[in-house]
Amino acid sequence: MPISANKIRNIIALHWVSRLSYRELSKVFNVPSSTVAKYLSAFDRSAISLAETRLLTDQALRELLCPPRPLHHSRRREVHMQSFPVIPSMFE
């Protein structure tokens, strides 16, 4: 379950001010340390400042830090769909 945009902003801000470790931040915000790492790494790669995180809408912040993944259709899926043509019609 994704965390709120405000919590993301607060994680970034507290890390910026205090330099707490990912583990310490995860305890403060009650989220996994991997989630803290994910958002802080994305923030470090981004071109936005701490102040700009407060100006962005929740949706814009999420899209900037964790853009949606494009749908990936594998060749394997195509082969299975051709082998079993009844399957797509079951979902219509």
| Mean pLDDT, contiguous 10-residue spans, the chain (92 residues) | 90 94 96 95 93 94 85 73 69 63
Q: For residue 91, what pLDDT is reported? A: 64
Q: For residue 1, what pLDDT is reported? A: 63
The answer to whether 60 and 46 have CB atoms below 8 angstroms apart is no
Question: At residue 79, what is the residue type?
Answer: V
Question: Of 12, 3, 4, 7, which Cα lies nearest the Cα of 41?
Answer: 12
Q: For residue 17, what pLDDT is reported? A: 94
End-to-end CA distance of the chain: 28
Cβ neighbours around 65 below 10 Å, total: 21
CA distance linking residue 20 with residue 7, whole number of Å: 15
Q: Where are the domains of the chain?
A: 5-69
Q: For residue 29, what pLDDT is reported? A: 96
